[in-house]
Structure 1
Amino acid sequence: MMTINTIVKAALASSLCFSIALHAQTKHEDMPKLSLDLSDVTVSGLSSGGYMATQFQLAHSDWVKGVGVLAAGPYFCAKGDITTALAQCVNKTDTQPDLTALNEQAAQYAKAGKLADLDNMKDAKVWLFHGKRDVRIASEVSDALFEQYTMWTDTQNIKYVNDMSIAHLFPTKTNGTDCMTSESPFIGNCDYDAAGDMLNHLIEGLTAPDDVLSGSLHTINQQDIAGSSAKTLASEGFVYIPQSCASGESCRAHISFHGCNQYADAVDDAYTSQTGLNDWADDNNMIVLYPQTKKSLFMPLNPQGCWDWWGYASKDYANRDGDQIKAVNALLLSLNTLPSPSPQQVNQAAPQEEAQQIEPMNQDGNNE
């Protein structure tokens, strides 16, 4: 039986966080058939989701061309060890991460086919954010991620926003709680549209959003789609689909990874509806996939529902063979139902099991 002390330690071990929640009801309807351009995908994430965004982008940099990271550190910072994670990669840096060693591990993975060719990173678009009032992720940790990306990517393609007095959260123009305080649901009313700033750096020629959303948020059955690869994920994930995409127009795709304590069962629909990503997606023919983790008080221990950036789900957590990376890849491919996925993408996806279950929801989190 797990002691209170063990649970407390586990909670501290997961201190990189944020999570999301949308409570699905009962009525199931068919998912709109979508035609997605999966040759130019973008990803983003907050905190543990930021670490996952970098891992996923490196795993598939041949078709994930842009990444936005809020409040996270360098790739493979934890080295598969929670003690290293807490000592170097969260709110303190007892010793500085050895970027040379971390990049050598990335190169070894790429040579073994576990990451895409690192040469793809040269032209990648990278957007990074760290708030000056963030006490959960040390500025040195975020700075190390910036320095790591400069070793891979042309500096003209990197934007690093680190001069704003904002806490550990996802900043928005008007949504959320006090911008200076990191508290659930970790969405901040900061008079700053981080989603828009990020997406406009990652993608050229976007149209500014209007005040009306045309689309809907849908539920997807992560377990049915990704099978055993999704064993550490929640039963349901979510995807925002603009009306233009639901009508069959070709659309791009963005994947957004929540942080610890920001998964759907913890914050309901806050992360999937309040960051501003849907507003930009709605007017720019873009779907937004919101995969979901779940908390676990047993092995694998993950009491705050964080994404795996230290190795709790699988030893290959940071590369293409990692369960969560395979699962999210399978979720994305399952949405592309009009054209057939390319053989390369099919080979990279986890096996799909049974038919997906979809439930449309409106922006208030209620069934339509």
Structure 2
Amino acid sequence: MMKKHFYLRRALCLSFFSASALAFSAASVANNDIPKLALDLENVTVSGLSSGGYMATQFQLAHSDWVKGVGVIAGGPYFCAQGDITTALAQCVNKVEGEIDIKALNEKAEHYESEGKIAPLNNMKDTKVWLFHGTQDTRVVAKVSDLLFEQYKLWTDTQNITYINDKPMAHLFPTKEEGVNCMKSESPFIGNCDYDAAGALLSHLIADVTTPDESLSGKIHSIDQQKIAGSNAKTLASEGFVYIPESCAQGEACKAHISFHGCNQYADAVGDAYTTQTGLNEWADDNNIVVLYPQTKKSLFMPLNPQGCWDWWGYASSDYANRDGAQIAAVKELLFSLNTRLPVKDNKGNADE
């Protein structure tokens, strides 16, 4: 019992965010069935903020054979927490006590590779990497993000890495004009910063994207995470969301991007803010990109997750950072479930894409 109380106290101190619950705006979500989609699942990209940034790195390393780009806002090195909430709080968020042994973290990745639990690390050489850390961010300190940059440089050709760390912004997702005061880390943790982080990261991760217009053709659809991912989705919310441009809904071949929210940024906490205000949908709409927004949920019982964070320290699974991790497996199932448009064959058996 004392151990349980200890972890409860420590987890509650995890200070990525603090937010009040808001009802999700049902008007912003299409209730009709998901259209049949033809997705390029060999060139997927991912991104995330804070705990979502940690998850984006974990997911990309697990599946670097088909996840070819990763964007991280205010995240730290792979396996930083080493499966322990105490280590996570001491070294991977708002302080770094002692030295983080990057060599040991990389050796863990190599161990997972040898076990077949992550894709071969040589895939990382050509991965597109976009990193961001605001100079006013005190929730995840600069040294933590700097170490993620150093880690990626060991795996990835430096010309494929962009690290932006000179902009005066707090711990949030920066946008051109949406959200709260850019200097304050407060709900919904989307900042009016006169900076389009969504456009910057997608432009780096995906070749030849075009600047979007101001209109949106597509819709946000709800997906049943529990039905799709089953037991792997135990620590996820019942609903996830996906933005589908009209072109993709009409059958055009489209790319796929996964966006991982931060702690206290799941739908039950911030409504539709994360799925509508980051700017990702605008870029996706004019560039034939489907955006998956998987959702966590808070839990005040074991597995303890009072702020609805993605699992980057092991609350859901001891394999949280590799392919066998429940959340990584669940998100893969969610993504692949969207790819339902099959080639139409003519009477000679030739496929018409």
Structure 1-normalised TM-score?
0.89
Aligned 1:285-296 pairs, distance under 5 A: 285-296=288-299
Residue ranges of structure 1 left out of the alignment (5+ in a row): 341-368
Separation (CA, whole Å) in 2 of partners of 1:96 and 1:75: 15
Structure 1 position 125 matched with structure 2 position 163: no
Which residue of the partner structure matches residue 10 of structure 2?
9
Runs of 4+ with >6 A deviation = 1-6, 18-21
AA aligned opposite 2:105: L
Structure 1 position 282 matched with structure 2 position 278: no
The RMSD of aligned alpha carbons is 2.0
Q: How many residues align?
A: 339
- The one of 78, 83, 90 equivalent to 2:81 is 78
Which residue of the partner structure matches residue 198 of structure 2?
195
- Tell me the percent identity: 71
Aligned 1:313-328 pairs, distance under 5 A: 313-328=316-331
Which residue of the partner structure matches residue 94 of structure 1?
97
How far did residue 29 of structure 1 move? 2.5
Q: Is the 8 A contact 2:76 2:147 kept in 1?
A: yes
Q: Is the 8 A contact 1:18 1:258 kept in 2?
A: no
AA aligned opposite 1:124: T
Look up the SS of the partner of 2:32 in the other structure. Answer: coil
How far did residue 8 of structure 1 move? 4.6
- The one of 237, 240, 256 equivalent to 2:240 is 237
AA aligned opposite 1:16: F
Q: Is the 8 A contact 2:175 2:196 kept in 1?
A: yes
AA aligned opposite 1:328: V
Q: Is the 8 A contact 2:212 2:282 kept in 1?
A: yes
How far did residue 31 of structure 1 move? 1.0
How far did residue 207 of structure 1 move? 1.0
Which residue of the partner structure matches residue 187 of structure 2?
184
- The one of 270, 273, 278 equivalent to 1:270 is 273
Separation (CA, whole Å) in 2 of partners of 1:190 and 1:27: 29
Which residue of the partner structure matches residue 112 of structure 1?
115
Aligned 1:29-68 pairs, distance under 5 A: 29-68=32-71
AA aligned opposite 2:199: G
Separation (CA, whole Å) in 2 of partners of 1:130 and 1:28: 37
Aligned 1:343-358 pairs, distance under 5 A: none
Separation (CA, whole Å) in 1 of partners of 2:285 and 2:217: 7
Separation (CA, whole Å) in 2 of partners of 1:56 and 1:259: 15
Query: C-alpha offsets along residues 71-127 of structure 1, whole Å, 9 cap, x if unaligned?
Result: 010000000000110111000001221110000000010111100000000000000
Look up the SS of the partner of 2:13 in the other structure. Answer: helix
Q: Is the 8 A contact 1:53 1:257 kept in 2?
A: yes
Q: Is the 8 A contact 2:76 2:145 kept in 1?
A: yes
Separation (CA, whole Å) in 2 of partners of 1:285 and 1:18: 34
Separation (CA, whole Å) in 2 of partners of 1:16 and 1:54: 17
How far did residue 294 of structure 1 move? 0.1
Separation (CA, whole Å) in 2 of partners of 1:8 and 1:168: 23
How far did residue 162 of structure 1 move? 0.1
How far did residue 6 of structure 1 move? 6.8
Q: Is the 8 A contact 2:30 2:219 kept in 1?
A: no
How far did residue 281 of structure 1 move? 0.1
Residue ranges of structure 2 left out of the alignment (5+ in a row): 344-353
Separation (CA, whole Å) in 1 of partners of 2:196 and 2:30: 34
216-225 or 94-103: which moved more? Answer: 94-103
Q: Is the 8 A contact 1:18 1:47 kept in 2?
A: no
Q: Is the 8 A contact 1:75 1:145 kept in 2?
A: yes
Separation (CA, whole Å) in 2 of partners of 1:199 and 1:86: 30
Q: Is the 8 A contact 1:79 1:310 kept in 2?
A: yes
Aligned 1:153-168 pairs, distance under 5 A: 153-168=156-171
How far did residue 213 of structure 1 move? 0.2
Look up the SS of the partner of 1:66 in the other structure. Answer: strand
Separation (CA, whole Å) in 1 of partners of 2:337 and 2:26: 19
